[in-house]
Amino acid sequence: MRYITPRLRNDLQKKMVLLAGPRQCGKTTLAKSLLDDRGEYLNWDITKDRKIIRELAWPKDASIVVLDELHKAPKWKNLLKGVVDEFGNKPPLLVTGSARLDAFRRTGDALTGRHYFYRLHPIDPSESKLFLPQLTLDTRIKRLLSAGGFPEAYLNPKEAARLRNDRMELVTREDLRDLSRVSSWRGPADLVELLRERVGKPVNYDSLAQSLSISPPTAKSWVELLEKLYIIFLLPPYSNRLSRSIRKDRRIYFFDCAAAYDESGGAQLENLVAGSLLKFAQFRKDAVGQSWEIFYLRDKESREVDFVVTFNRRVHWLIEVKASDDNPGTSLRYYTEKLRPHESLQLVLNLDRAQEKSGIKILPLGKWLEELPFQASTA
């Protein structure tokens, strides 16, 4: 059972539910797990299923109907609007898809007020216990850092690199073609490789453009496409209540936390935390409507904090990520005093016991991330 399963079951009794997320993160498996002997699974890619979908010919007394890859259908939003307007929520309808489902649901008003929307993320430290409960937390963290959190790779770590390459190629070849007018997938695929060297760093479109022999606006448009395709996500800088001295470039992270080219492992560790925070924030928004946002902080004096997490626009957590250092840096101390967050944290991968120094909590990284889904109660 995935982390959003109970919420999906509950919301499906009220409205149609759209489920989006990266390719191969488990959307279809999750959808099928909700089926019983009266449930119907229909995939737009299957010819006989496509005919049933076009004619709205599924049994109306089904316990649930899953429509997979429906975003590939012409005018799919109008189709869904018609279904909801004619049949209401009988039977409950779950629609799954990846980039286009999310990107195009936002345009127009065909589905306004007629659905709930969820984003499924890869496995994080908290959810890893559901997949491999026999392993220790430290072992599960190490596997996430080396294999990533996509279920098949996480459960088969020796195949992780091959699975990652196949997934990246599939997305840049097929989904890119569906989502955009880019004439060749090769350029965005090369961009992915460049970005794997820049995890946790500001996106410099001029530098990317020069490396790829394209214009900076084209580089920016390709980065935005990769974001829509759930390959990467970009964190903006935090600037509220601060001067204009704050740097404005966004930072790059991958949904696959192990995708970075970094032999030291530092980029993977930072990406793991970034992905876990994003998963937390988006789940809280999708499930209960809470407003959590993730930023980073770096000023022109090179004072830097890895993550700023806000709740209702107020700074809730300042977070610094370290492999082994249990001494809070001057930047974290400075912004703890300046921003007065609910909590200031230094998350350390290799730490024997929790500590507190100068009002900053130094905590074991794995344990804090494992308990992250329950942190909302502190808001």
Query: How far from the centroid of its chain's Cα atoms is residue 30's Cα?
Result: 16
59 and 45 share a domain?
A: yes
Please give the model's pTM, rounded to 2 decimal places.
0.92
The answer to whether residues 95 and 197 belong to one domain is no
- Name the domain boundary from 119, 153, 187: 119
Q: Could you tell me if 209 and 175 lie in one domain? A: yes
Q: What is the pLDDT of residue 188?
A: 84
pLDDT at residue 183, rounded to an integer: 62
- Rounded Cα gap, residues 368 and 71, in angstroms: 37
Number of domain units in the chain: 2
Q: Are residues 366 and 347 in the same domain?
A: yes
What per-residue confidence (pLDDT) applies to 181?
Answer: 64
Query: How do the pLDDT tens digits run along the chain, 379 residues long?
Result: 899 999 999 999 999 999 999 999 999 999 999 999 999 999 999 999 999 999 999 999 999 999 998 888 888 888 888 888 888 888 999 999 876 666 655 555 666 678 899 999 999 999 999 999 999 999 999 999 999 999 999 999 999 999 999 999 888 887 777 666 666 677 888 999 999 999 999 999 999 999 999 999 999 999 998 998 899 999 999 987 666 556 678 999 999 999 999 988 999 999 999 999 999 999 999 999 999 999 999 988 889 999 999 999 999 999 999 999 889 999 999 999 999 999 999 999 999 899 999 899 999 999 999 999 876 555 5
Note down the domain range covering 30. Answer: 5-119
Q: Specify whether 25 is located in the same domain as 108.
A: yes
What pLDDT was estimated at residue 72?
A: 82
**88, 119, 150 - which closes a domain:** 119
The answer to whether the beta carbons of residues 96 and 120 sit under 8 Å apart is no
Q: Are residues 69 and 174 in the same domain?
A: no
CB-CB neighbours of 65 under 10 Å? 25
Where a domain ends, among 119, 138, 156?
119
